[in-house]
């Protein structure tokens, strides 16, 4: 099928587009004048957005600031929901072409990069396919739903030399930088424990029977790699988060933020836990099956430290802020860092990250340790695309965080402690648990 058939152009627009098409298919790829496969420093990046509801809608709107500066062009939008897609088209200037099937986008040679903000169960497949098609990728967190997906994502980025940024944007927040710098300079001493807290996952208080999907939703495409099942309106939209297979609950949502900060600030991006043990309580009715309360303990060795994820855990009351400081609008999650000299806490950890006052007011002395200060999460990705520099939440780091989320849920599901070999990416002495590190995928929606 020609990708042109989706266009509805005015006569003048048609002539202009037709002329452009005869001369060059679509837009001139930005990398034409730069190193092979990599746009030049001053080139405008040509992007497509895959998944434009929820966080996808946020990204589409947020990208406008780069469009207005002439740094990027949004050439295509994609969603399995036709109503959402039609709505996105009205919000996207300059004739972005709508697609239901993301693979049309991957065929387009003029598109440099894609922003993937689909439900979690699609992240790995679409990211791997995009890398294999030569696209740079921004993919929402959590990176993946299984250990095997994570392995495939790391391989795809490396083998295809693509710049990948994962949407744990807390790392790029200003107060995250202040917190990181404060901790890296030993202000609370040696840290041997980090306790994350988060309010519980919701339970489904409006369960409904399965039904026909709404006309605008391509249910088969929405399910993608998941095994087929009848539509139930409690799956989508947004509520996929509370289904273990697709969303994984709070630990895979906010855990991928708060524990991302922990691993980064503890300089532990390359470190895996050696044991994972979880207990939790499930919802008492309804379709959603991710646990309402959850308590996971991860132990790390060499260096030794403990990380916990607790729903609800021990929330820290929000701090009073000065009038000139941003208010803590999401105090319900964060983490407490325990050092041998002091403790430190932060709230949020995603697009809202608030550091305790002592980190904000700390003034580094000469010779203090400096840490990387992100120019912004998307800016950092663009830099990675153009220079090849590692992104702040590159795929290896993001898979390391997603592993925590996925192993936590796995331990909860199995009801037993797991011994993890991070190098081999295998569970020690538990063959059945190892089977669950991957999940067979429906054809053709596979890695």
Partner 1 sequence: MRTHADSVAAATTLAAGAGEATAQNAALQALLEGIQSSDEQVRTAAWRSAGEAGAAAVPGLAQLTEHQDLEVARAARRGLWQVVRQAGNPRTETVRQAVEAGLLELLNSNSSPALQHELQWMLSEIGGDAAVAPIAALLEQEALREDARMALERIPGKKARVALKKAFDDAPGDIKPALAVSLRNHGGKAPGVPDDKLRPVRPTSVQALASEGGAS
Helix 255-265, helix 174-184: angle, nearest 10: 40
Query: Whose CA is closest to 353, among 219, 262, 227, 444?
Result: 262
Q: What is the CA radius of gyration of the chain?
A: 22
Q: What is the DSSP string of 159-212?
A: HHT--EEES-GGGGSHHHHHHHHHHHTTTT-SEEEEEEEEPPPP--SS-----P
Contact 52, 77 (CB under 8 A): yes
The rounded distance, in Å, linking the Cα atoms of 197 and 122 is 27
Q: In terms of DSSP bridges, do strands 333-339 and 343-348 run parallel, antiparallel, or are they unpaired?
A: antiparallel
Please identify, using beta-carbon distances, which residue of 65 and 285 lies nearer to partner 1: 285
Please identify, using beta-carbon distances, which residue of 277 and 350 lies nearer to partner 1: 277
Say if residue 69 is exposed, middle or buried (CB neighbours under 10 Å; 0-12, 13-18, 19+). Answer: exposed
Please identify, using beta-carbon distances, which residue of 151 and 374 lies nearer to partner 1: 151
The rounded distance, in Å, linking the Cα atoms of 199 and 207 is 22
Please identify, using beta-carbon distances, which residue of 62 and 289 lies nearer to partner 1: 289
Closest distance of CB 446 from partner 1, Å: 6
Say if residue 180 is exposed, middle or buried (CB neighbours under 10 Å; 0-12, 13-18, 19+). Answer: buried
Closest distance of CB 254 from partner 1, Å: 24
Contact 251, 199 (CB under 8 A): no
Q: What is the DSSP string of 22-53?
A: HHSSSSPPGGGGSSTTS--TTPPEEEEEE--S
Closest distance of CB 399 from partner 1, Å: 19
Closest distance of CB 284 from partner 1, Å: 4
Closest distance of CB 388 from partner 1, Å: 25
Please identify, using beta-carbon distances, which residue of 185 and 438 lies nearer to partner 1: 438
Closest distance of CB 283 from partner 1, Å: 8
* 250: Cα within 13 Å, side-chain hemisphere: 27
The end-to-end CA distance of the chain, in Å, is: 24
Please identify, using beta-carbon distances, which residue of 16 and 161 lies nearer to partner 1: 16
Please identify, using beta-carbon distances, which residue of 81 and 380 lies nearer to partner 1: 81
Closest distance of CB 305 from partner 1, Å: 28
Please identify, using beta-carbon distances, which residue of 215 and 324 lies nearer to partner 1: 215
Closest distance of CB 173 from partner 1, Å: 35
Lay out the sheet containing 113-116: strands in order across: 97-99, 72-78, 45-50, 113-116, 136-139, 164-166
Q: In terms of DSSP bridges, do strands 333-339 and 191-198 run parallel, antiparallel, or are they unpaired?
A: antiparallel
Please identify, using beta-carbon distances, which residue of 14 and 321 lies nearer to partner 1: 14
Closest distance of CB 22 from partner 1, Å: 12
């Amino acid at each position: 099928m020609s990708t042109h058939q989706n266009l509805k152009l005015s006569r003048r627009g048609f002539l202009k587009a037709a002329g452009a098409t005869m001369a060059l298919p679509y837009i001139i790829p930005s990398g034409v004048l730069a190193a092979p496969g990599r746009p030049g420093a001053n080139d405008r990046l040509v992007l497509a957005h895959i998944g434009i509801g929820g966080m996808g809608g946020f990204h589409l709107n947020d990208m406008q600031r780069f469009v207005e500066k002439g740094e990027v062009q949004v050439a295509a939008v994609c969603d399995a929901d036709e109503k959402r897609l039609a709505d996105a088209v009205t919000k996207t200037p300059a004739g972005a072409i709508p697609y239901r099937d993301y693979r049309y986008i991957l065929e387009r040679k003029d598109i440099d990069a894609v922003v993937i903000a689909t439900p979690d169960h699609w992240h790995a497949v679409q990211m791997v396919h995009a890398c294999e098609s030569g696209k740079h990728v921004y993919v929402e967190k959590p990176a993946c739903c299984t250990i095997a997906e994570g392995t495939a994502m790391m391989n795809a980025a490396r083998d295809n030399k693509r710049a990948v940024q994962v949407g744990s944007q807390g790392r790029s927040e200003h107060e995250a930088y202040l917190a990181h710098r404060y901790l890296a300079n030993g202000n609370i001493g040696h840290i041997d424990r980090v306790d994350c807290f988060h309010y519980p996952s919701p339970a489904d208080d409006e369960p409904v029977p399965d039904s026909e999907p709404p006309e605008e939703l391509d249910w088969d495409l929405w399910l993608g790699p998941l095994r087929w099942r009848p539509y139930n309106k409690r799956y989508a939209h947004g509520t996929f988060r509370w289904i273990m297979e697709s969303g994984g609950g709070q630990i895979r949502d906010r855990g991928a933020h708060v524990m991302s900060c922990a691993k980064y600030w503890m300089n532990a991006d390359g470190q895996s836990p050696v044991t994972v043990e979880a207990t939790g309580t499930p919802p008492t009715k309804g379709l959603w099956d991710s646990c309402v309360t959850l308590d996971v303990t991860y132990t790390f060795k060499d260096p030794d430290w403990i990380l916990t994820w607790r729903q609800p855990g021990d929330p820290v009351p929000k701090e009073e802020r000065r009038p000139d400081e941003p208010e803590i609008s999401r105090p319900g999650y964060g983490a407490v860092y325990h050092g041998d000299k002091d403790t430190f806490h932060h709230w949020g950890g995603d697009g809202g990250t608030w550091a305790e006052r002592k980190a904000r007011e700390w003034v580094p002395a000469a010779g203090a340790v400096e840490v990387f200060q992100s120019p912004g999460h998307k800016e950092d990705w663009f830099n990675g695309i153009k220079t090849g520099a590692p992104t702040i939440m590159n795929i290896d780091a993001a898979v390391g965080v997603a592993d925590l989320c996925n192993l936590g849920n796995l331990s909860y599901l199995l009801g037993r402690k797991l011994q993890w070999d991070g190098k081999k990416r295998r569970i020690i002495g538990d063959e059945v648990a190892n089977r669950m590190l991957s999940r067979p995928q429906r054809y053709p929606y596979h890695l």
